[in-house]
C-alpha cells in the first residue's frame, strides 16, 4: 500500500560546533517551529546521564511543511554559502516525514503490558478485557512520553502495586507523562501531587489523568520537593515515588524524608546496579530504612521506610 503524501520535510546537516548557532538561526527562517541542535557527546556515567562534548560535528535538524521545492532548496544552499562559518557545512539532506506512518509504527511496537500482580498498561487504541482484580492504565504514546516500556518505570509500577495502601497521599517527583501518578490513583491513592521541573509536562500529566478518569485526585504542577515546592502548604505524604537520575535522587533524599509521614514509604528508581549501594547509603543517611530492592536488567529500584522520628 503506497504511503500518503508527506506532510513535512526534515532537513538534516552537520556543521562545526562553533557554527551551530549561526546555521540554526538561518534554518529558523525557513522552519519557524524550531531547530534541533545535536552535539556529539561521550557518556561519562550511565547512572547520572552525564557527558562531555567531543568536538566532532554537530547535527542540525529542522522540519518544514511539504513540499519544499527545488527553488527553496537552492535559496537555502545560497544562504548557507553566504554565512561567515568556521568550516563548510555538510550537505543538506531532505527526508519526507509521513506522520500517519509514524503513528502506525508506534502501534506495531507498543503493546499491552502486565506489570506487578494487578497492573495492566495498555495503549489507547488496543482493546483489552480486564480480568477480575486487574487495574488497567490507559496511555497514548503519541501524546506523551513515559509508556511503561523502560525498566525503571516498570520497576516503580510494580513497587507501587506492592507497597501503596488504599487511602495513601502520594507525591510523584519527576512525574513526566504522569504514568506513576495515574497508577497510584488507580491503585487507591486518596490524593496524588505530581511535580516535574519541566513545565511542559504538566499538561501531559493532566491529560493522562483525565484519560483514566482520575483527574479529580491528581494535582500536577511544575516544581519539585524542597524550595521548588509549588503549593503553599508543605509536602506531607504517605508515599513518595521518584524515577529520576541517581545524582538527582541522592541529593533529593533528605527532602523526601522530610515530606514523608512517620512510617511513610519511598520508591526510587532511575539508577543502575553499580550505583545502588550509594543510593542505599544515602537513603539511610536521610533517615530512610530500605525494606525492598527490585531489579530488571541492570536497573534497580529501592523501597525504603521512614521511621517514627522526623529526620534531622
DSSP letters for 175-233: -TTSHHHHHHHHTT-SEEEEEES-THHHHHHHHHHHHTT-GGGEEEEE--SGGG--SSS
- Give residue-wise pLDDT tens across range 38-94: 887 766 554 444 556 778 899 998 888 888 899 999 999 999 999 999 999 999 999
Statement: residue 296 has pLDDT above 50: yes
Whole-number pLDDT of residue 260: 98
The CATH 3.30.70.120 domain(s) of the chain lie at 8-104
pLDDT for position 255: 97
Question: Per CATH, which fold does 150-306 belong to?
Answer: Rossmann fold (3.40.50)
Confidence of residue 271 (pLDDT cuts 50, 70, 90): confident
Span of 36-45, 247-256, 258-267, 283-292 with lowest mean pLDDT? 36-45
Write down the pLDDT at residue 99. Answer: 55
pTM to 2 decimal places? 0.67
Q: Which among 132, 173, 131, 180 is positioned nearest to 154, based on CA atoms?
A: 180
Residues of the chain with CATH 3.40.50.150: 150-306
Q: Per-residue pLDDT for 2 more than 50? A: no
Write down the CATH number for the domain with range 8-104: 3.30.70.120
**Can you tell me the mean pLDDT for 232-241?**
97
* pLDDT at residue 53, as a whole number: 72
Question: pLDDT per residue over 244-257, tens digit each?
Answer: 888 889 999 999 99
- Between CA 26 and CA 42 the distance in angstroms is 28
Q: Sorting pLDDT into bands at 50, 70 and 90, what band is 1?
A: very low
| Residues 205, 219: Cα–Cα separation, whole Å | 9
Amino acid at each position: 500500500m503506497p504511503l500518503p503524501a508527506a506532510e513535512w520535510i526534515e532537513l538534516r546537516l552537520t556543521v562545526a560546533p562553533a557554527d551551530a548557532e549561526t546555521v540554526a538561526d538561518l534554518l529558523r527562517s525557513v522552519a519557524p517551529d524550531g531547530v534541533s541542535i545535536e552535539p556529539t557527546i561521550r557518556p561519562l556515567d550511565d547512572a547520572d546521564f552525564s557527558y562531555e562534548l567531543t568536538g566532532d560535528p554537530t547535527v542540525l535538524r529542522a522540519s518544514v511543511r511539504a513540499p519544499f521545492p527545488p527553488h527553496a532548496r537552492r535559496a537555502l544552499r545560497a544562504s548557507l554559502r553566504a554565512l561567515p562559518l568556521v568550516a563548510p557545512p555538510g550537505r543538506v539532506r531532505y527526508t519526507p516525514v509521513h506522520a500517519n506512518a509514524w503513528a502506525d509504527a508506534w502501534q506495531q511496537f507498543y503493546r499491552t503490558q502486565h506489570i506487578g500482580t494487578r497492573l495492566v498498561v495498555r495503549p489507547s487504541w488496543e482493546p483489552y478485557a480486564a480480568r477480575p482484580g486487574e487495574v488497567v492504565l490507559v496511555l497514548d504514546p503519541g501524546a506523551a512520553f513515559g509508556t511503561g516500556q523502560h525498566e525503571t518505570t516498570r520497576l516503580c509500577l510494580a513497587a507501587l502495586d506492592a507497597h501503596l495502601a488504599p487511602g495513601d497521599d502520594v507525591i510523584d517527583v519527576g512525574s513526566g507523562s504522569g504514568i506513576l501518578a495515574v497508577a497510584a490513583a488507580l491503585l487507591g491513592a486518596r490524593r496524588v501531587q505530581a511535580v516535574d521541573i519541566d513545565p511542559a509536562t504538566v499538561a501531559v500529566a493532566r491529560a493522562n489523568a483525565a484519560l483514566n478518569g482520575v483527574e479529580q485526585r491528581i494535582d500536577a504542577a511544575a516544581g519539585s520537593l524542597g524550595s521548588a515546592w509549588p503549593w503553599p502548604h508543605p509536602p506531607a505524604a504517605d508515599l513518595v515515588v521518584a524515577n529520576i537520575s541517581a545524582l538527582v535522587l541522592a541529593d533529593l533524599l533528605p527532602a523526601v524524608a522530610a515530606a514523608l509521614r512517620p512510617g511513610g514509604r519511598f520508591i526510587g528508581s532511575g539508577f543502575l546496579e553499580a550505583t545502588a549501594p550509594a543510593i542505599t547509603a544515602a537513603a539511610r543517611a536521610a533517615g530512610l530504612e530500605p525494606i525492598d530492592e527490585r531489579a530488571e536488567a541492570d536497573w534497580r529500584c529501592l523501597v525504603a521506610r521512614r521511621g517514627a522520628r522526623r529526620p534531622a
